[in-house]
Structure 1
Amino acid sequence: MTITVAGNKKEVADNLTVAQLIIDENVETPEYVTVTINDEFVKSGTFEKTTLKDGDVVEFLYFMGGGQ
């Protein structure tokens, strides 16, 4: 199936989970990543159970603090 990850189309295996995609994409500091699928936030506790579908658009987001 084809999904879009961070703006790039990719061929991936059927029934791929968000957790496996994080591993496959070598996401740095996966414990701090926020994931959206089709602009919907995915709860971090559900990455193992959330299966991607053909045509999904996935983004990895990191929220950073700082400023004054």
Structure 2
Amino acid sequence: MNLLINGDYVNIPSHIQSVESLLNHFKLDQQIVVVELNGTILEKDKQNQYLTDGDKLELVHFVGGG
């Protein structure tokens, strides 16, 4: 499946079918992440939503630094 993630096309393995599993795949599941799917910000309890080929995601997470 091809997804547009943060402006880049990414080919995702077929076993990843939900936003939740995508976050797990990128090891973002234990971080605070804001997820926008096709222009709509998803609440945490909606991250089990299924993905389809061509979906557009924006993933924003916070990093420390100074």
State the TM-score, normalizing by the size of structure 1: 0.71
State the TM-score, normalizing by the size of structure 2: 0.73
Structure 1 gap ranges (5+): 64-68
Provide the alpha-carbon RMSD of the alignment. Answer: 2.2
Residue 53 of structure 1 aligns to a residue in which SS?
Answer: coil
Structure 2 CA distance for aligned equivalents of residues 44 and 54 of structure 1: 22
Identity of aligned residues (%): 21
Runs of 4+ in 1 over 4 A off after TM superposition: none
Question: 1:14: how far off?
Answer: 6.5
Structure 1 CA distance for aligned equivalents of residues 45 and 11 of structure 2: 25
- 1:66 — aligned with what? none
